[in-house]
Structure 1
Amino acid sequence: MTDAVPTELLADRLRRAGEHAAEQGTDVLFLTPGTDLRYLTGFDGSSHERLTCLIVPAAGHRAPPALVVPSLEAPGFAGVPLEALGIDLVTWTDGEDPYLLVSDLAGGPTRMSVDDDMPARHVLGLRHAFPDVPQYLGGTVLRELRMRKDPAEIDRLREAGAAIDRVHRRMGEFLRPGRTEAEVGADITAAIIAEGHAEAAFVIVGSGPNGASPHHDVSDRVIEAGDVVVIDIGGPLPGGYNSDCTRTYAVGGEPGPDVKETYAVLQEAQERAVAAVRPGATAADIDAAAREHIAAAGHGEHFIHRTGHGIGLDVHEEPYIVGGNDLVLTEGMTFSIEPGIYQAGRWGARIEDIVVVTADGVERLNTTARDLVVL
Structure 2
Amino acid sequence: MAFLFNKFQEAIKTLAKSPSFARDPRHLQFDADVNRLFLYTSYNRLGKHSEEKDAEEIIELASKASVTDQQKQVQQNVHYQLKHICKSMDSILRPDTKDPSQSPSDAYNNSRRSGLSLAVGTGVAAANKPAVPATRPLTRTELSNKFRDQFGYTLDIKPSLIPHKDAGQGLFLSGEANVGAVLAIYPGVIYSPAYYRYIPGYPIIDACNSYLITRYDGTIINAKPWHLGGETREVWDGSDPVDYNTTPPKSPESNSDRAWRMLNKPLQKSGCENFGDVLERRNPLAFGHFANHPPGGSAPNVMICPYDFPLTEKDMRAYIPNIAFGGEEPVTMKRFGSFWFKSRAPGKQTGESPVLRTLVLVSTRSVCDEELFLNYRYSSSKGRPEWYTPVDEEEDKRRWS
Per the TM superposition, whether the score is higher than 0.5 is no
Q: TM-score, normalised by structure 2?
A: 0.26
Q: TM-score, normalised on structure 1?
A: 0.28
